Amino acid sequence: MSRVLALDFGGKRTGIATTDPLQMIASPLTTVDTPDLMDFLTNYFKEEDVSTLVVGQPTRHDGSFSPIEKDILLFIDKFKKKHPDIIVHRINEMFSSKDAMKALIDSGVKKKKRKDKKLLDSTAATILLQEFLYK
């Protein structure tokens, strides 16, 4: 089987999570600078078989989208043109960063390490991927 990737897309950085080939376990992969995201994914796809990309959809409490949604839609459009065989799904990421911080705290990650935004971003992507897998 192929892997599923999830993105917690941000203006500066994007957290990335992946499944195992059986699509049973979601794990943090890395965090990349957002301008380098397409190149990273293209190179990753050369090494790993990926069938699906899950991209967080930043929804506010009132149902509207955060301003970053415009950038996400542009990215998805470019992504689909470059990688037409990979299915793109969207998933609500309203509390992903808060849930990621809670998960880090609950798992005993020290306060100093929790300040690492890259760790928080990849953990948020993992939570998005878990939600997608268990839907």
Residues 25-73 have pLDDT tens digits of 999 999 999 999 999 999 999 999 999 999 999 877 677 788 889 999 9
**Where along the chain do its domains lie?**
3-133
Q: What is the pLDDT of residue 62?
A: 79
Instruction: Tell me the percentage of the chain whose pLDDT exceeds 70.
Output: 79
Superfamily name with CATH number, domain 3-133: YqgF/RNase H-like domain (3.30.420.140)
Task: Give the whole-angstrom CA distance, residue 92 versus residue 114.
Answer: 23
User: pTM here?
Assistant: 0.85
User: Is 56 buried (19+), middle (13-18) or exposed (0-12) by CB count in 10 A?
Assistant: buried
